Amino acid sequence: MNRIGIFCSACETIDSCYFDCARELGQWMGEQGKTLVYGGANLGLMECVAQAVKSHGGGVVGVVPTKLEERGRVSELPDVLFRTENLSERKEVIVRESEVLIALPGGVGTLDEVFHVMAAATIGYHRKRVIFYNVNGFWDDLIGMLQQMEQKGFIRKPLAESYSVVTTLEEMAQMLY
């Protein structure tokens, strides 16, 4: 898998361990010649992972909604830049341009993106997976909620078909080969 979509936080005030994880993943991607497809912001984990990919030889594709441009929050790192009218279009482009999608720690926007991908996969629009990078147990509660929803019959297809969970870069690398 060479074109890897990443959903993640654009916050600057989060714990440094999340930046370390994003940097480590980005470095590995760059060294492996992978291409990052991401939200294109010059903030938080988004800029961190893009810098690491780019500085280690990988490609960077940014997908930027109009509001980010209006606020001057577009990264200068992308080799290719897609401009979108809104967040819905941005999600569609990221999914289209990626072979697999990784969820690093993030907020409401990251959740929106993850659920968009998983819902589309369960209906059959694509067969792409989300890999939750569960840094320091960040995704534990969400994974528990998804399992509970499945156990109670609110989810028809086994969710294991649409997502995986990893806790280390080594586990991630095995999934991406």
Residue 106 is predicted with a pLDDT of: 97
> Which range marks the domain in which residue 41 is found?
3-176
pLDDT tier for residue 159 given thresholds of 50, 70 and 90:
confident
Share above pLDDT 70 across residues of the chain, in percent, rounded to a whole number: 100
pTM of the model: 0.95
Q: How distant, in Å, are the alpha carbons of 20, 62, 127, 129, 142 from that of 115?
A: 25, 20, 14, 11, 11
Q: What is the mean pLDDT of residues 49-62?
A: 98
CA distance 40 to 47: 8
Do residues 66 and 85 lie in contact, with contact meaning Cβ atoms separated by under 8 Å?
Answer: yes
Which CATH number belongs to the domain containing residue 82 in this structure?
3.40.50.450
Element (H, E) at 93: helix 87-97
Average of per-residue pLDDT across 105-129: 93
Count of structural domains, the chain: 1
